[in-house]
Amino acid sequence: MAEVFKLSARVEELAERRKEAIRRAFTRFHALALGCAVGVTAGLAVTAATLLLWMRGGKLVGENLRVLSSYFPGYRVDLAGAAVGGLYGFAAGFIAGYAIAAFRNLALRVALALLRQSGDRWRRRHLLDEI
């Protein structure tokens, strides 16, 4: 009899762990937090790359990075450009992170609604089988 209780407790524990894993897999992203995280990372990356190339110096300082001035008005590979690039990097990263989280949450909401609708339809179809 004790083995039955142990087995029952183990089955309940596994069911609870499965529910928790499903809950974690379908947790929504916080759009503002992801936007800030990606924005700070992108801003720091642009700033660090600009400062690294500026300190290195040479004839053609940051020729590849100078292309960013096409997208970020006022950006140059110098000390002031590092600050401007960091702000633009933060803005671009924030928009990208926020959009990724928003689209993922929308896709998750649509997928879960379709699954719920499918499950409801299956239950209605098999209602009499359960009686």
Q: Domain map of the chain by residue range?
A: 31-130
Most confident of 80-84, 111-115, 118-122: 80-84
User: What is the pLDDT at residue 7?
Assistant: 74
pLDDT band at 123, cuts 50/70/90?
A: confident
Does residue 129 or residue 79 have the better pLDDT? 79
The pTM assigned to this predicted structure is: 0.75
User: What is the pLDDT at residue 25?
Assistant: 79
pLDDT of 130 higher than 80: no
pLDDT in tens, 33-85: 999 999 999 999 999 999 998 888 867 777 778 888 888 999 988 899 999 99
pLDDT of 2 higher than 70: no
For the chain, give the DSSP string: -HHHHHHHHHHHHHHHHHHHHHHHHTPPP-HHHHHHHHHHHHHHHHHHHHHHHHHH--SSTTTTGGGGGGTSTT--SSHHHHHHHHHHHHHHHHHHHHHHHHHHHHHHHHHHHHHHHHHHHHHHHTHHHH-
